[in-house]
Amino acid sequence: MSDITVYQPDFLFAEGRFHEGRALAVGADGRVLGAVPEGARVERLAGRALLPGLVNGHSHAFQRLIRGRTEYVASAGGKDDFWSWREAMYHAAEVLTPEDIHVASRQVFLEMALAGITTVGEFHYLHHQPDGTPYADRNALAHAVIRAATDVGLRICLLRVGYARAGFNAPSNPRQRRFIDADVDTFLSTTEALSHATRGDPRVNVGLAPHSVRAVSRDWLTQVARTAPASMPIHMHVAEQPKEIEACLAEHGRRPVELVSDVGLLGPRFTAVHGVHLTEAEVTLLGRAQATVCACPSTERNLGDGIVPADALVKAGARVSFGSDSQTVVDLLDEARQLEQHLRLVRLRRAVLDPGTGTLDGLSARLFDMATVQGARSLGMGTGTLSAGSPADFFTVDLHHPSLVGAGPTSLLPGIVFGAAGGAVREVAVAGRLMVRDGRHPLTDESGRAFQQLARRLYP
């Protein structure tokens, strides 16, 4: 029984609700057991509520370096938007070495762990050396990111990005030379090589990510749809910016979701990241396909992108997940609450995403499902729940934290989703092994020092 650990919190979230006095038993394989065996080692988590680990569906790890460095208008009398922000982002992208990528990624993954995130989907598009020459191992930078995640203790789905051009009828952009693959066959074969290299690690999955309709051609999308392994998730930036839609209409006479549907990419394993500017017809297409839309409200509001029409998407049958994207902040519960609260501002009513169950926790349960189950589904990972046989990935919150004190069994989940401060997260585990104890990760100091040195070198 020494290989079995029983975690005993005050409240355990399972089967969609909190149970008082119930324990979580974890086997030697890191999976949840269906029953608590006698004689197992018990770890009491007094004053804690234990929940499935959060799943961050969309991340650009290296962009943690530009947090706080783009919040101004760079030219007098000018304006700041997604496109001007992108130029500032290129400054970091152009100079990072593989070790720099590891340092930056490790720091933001550490921040994710401290926020209760146990799985991350990394939308990875930095592939080559600064001059655009491929590394001897074309996946050198991807391996640096994966190593950072596993160093911290997270699971990761490395979504290798395909990037072919600057845009429709746009001249090549030298600032994108680290992103560009020679052709779609190189993109597919390199992704398959990465999948093969990581196949033995249960913490790692690999997916395909044609960047966007502006960055790849219809031929690329068609080839991905025809040849992508059935086991691989497919993610793509879709309908984030009006200019993207205008260019798609000019090139194809179709809007982005329509184009993705035409080439055969749209389906249950497809995730449209952002999905801000959608027509009713596109919402219907996403719903019929049972596709996922990964909303990133902190980035979408920071860049002035707009608001994801999640209420329409859910009604149509689409799934919704969450991502931290540009790392403006790393707080997936805040992403969930902001999606709902942004919709309240534009719909002029409260509880927009409430499923209509008439229960106190109906809305928070839906949002929490998006932050766990739906995120895991979009990444092809078996996480997101604490049912028997599932990986024992979880986090706890301190019931005595000032932001949660006073919550009862029925108001606890709404209190966590809508009110928990970051400091309320105390323990975090992947496969039943604690990587965060009482709000502390063992790599905090080492990672912080290395990241500080990197940031000072890039921004003296």
Burial class (CB in 10 A: 0-12, 13-18, 19+), 56: buried
Q: Which residue shows structure tokens 């608590």? A: 36
> Which one-letter DSSP state was computed for residue 214?
T
Single-letter code of the amino acid located at 146: I
> What whole-number distance in Å separates Cα of residue 264 and Cα of residue 116?
36
**CB proximity list for 206: less than 8 A, separation 6 or greater:** 157, 158, 159, 160, 191, 194, 195, 198, 232
- pTM here? 0.97
Q: What is the pLDDT of residue 294?
A: 98
Residue 427 φ/ψ, nearest 5 degrees: -120, 145
Q: CB–CB of 439/425 below 8 Å? A: yes
Rounded-to-integer distance, Cα 200 and Cα 195, Å: 9
Q: Is 358 exposed, middle or buried (0-12, 13-18, 19+ CB in 10 A)?
A: exposed
Task: Report the C-alpha gap between 385 and 319 in whole angstroms.
Answer: 16
pLDDT of amino acid 398: 98
Distance CA 386, CA 430 (A): 12
What is the DSSP pairing of strand 292-295 with strand 155-162? unpaired
Residue-wise pLDDT for 149-188, tens only, equals 999 999 999 999 999 999 999 999 998 999 999 999 999 9
From first CA to last CA, the distance across the chain in angstroms is 54
Angle, CA of 147, 113 and 129, to the nearest 5°:
35
Q: Boundaries of CATH 2.30.40.10 in the chain?
A: 5-52+384-444
Q: What local confidence, expressed as pLDDT, does residue 78 receive? A: 66
pLDDT score of 83:
66
Q: From 3.40.1280.10, 3.40.720.10, 2.30.40.10, 1.10.150.650, which CATH number describes the 5-52+384-444 domain?
A: 2.30.40.10
The CATH class for the domain spanning 54-379 reads alpha beta
In the prediction, which pLDDT does 73 show? 81
The pair phi, psi for residue 245, each rounded to 5°, is -70, -40
Give the gyration radius of the chain's Cα atoms: 21
Cα distance between residue 348 and residue 352, in whole Å: 9
- Write phi, then psi, for 390 (nearest 5 degrees): -85, 155
> Residue 177 in contact with residue 157, Cβ under 8 Å?
no
Ranges of residues in the chain whose predicted pLDDT is under 70? 1-2, 75-78, 83
User: What are 188's two structure tokens?
Assistant: 């597919």
CB 240 within 8 A of CB 276: yes
One-letter amino acid identity for 423? G
CA atoms within 13 A on the CB side of 447: 21
Minimal CA–CA distance to 114: which of 443, 446, 453?
443
Domain boundaries for CATH 3.20.20.140 within the chain = 54-379
Q: Torsion-angle region of residue 306: left (phi > 0), alpha (psi -120 to 50) or beta?
A: left
Cα gap 206→194, rounded to integer Å: 7
Residues marked active site are found at 274, 325
Structure letter (DSSP) for residue 437:
B
For 452, the enclosing helix (H) or strand (E) is: helix 444-458
CB 263 within 8 A of CB 234: no
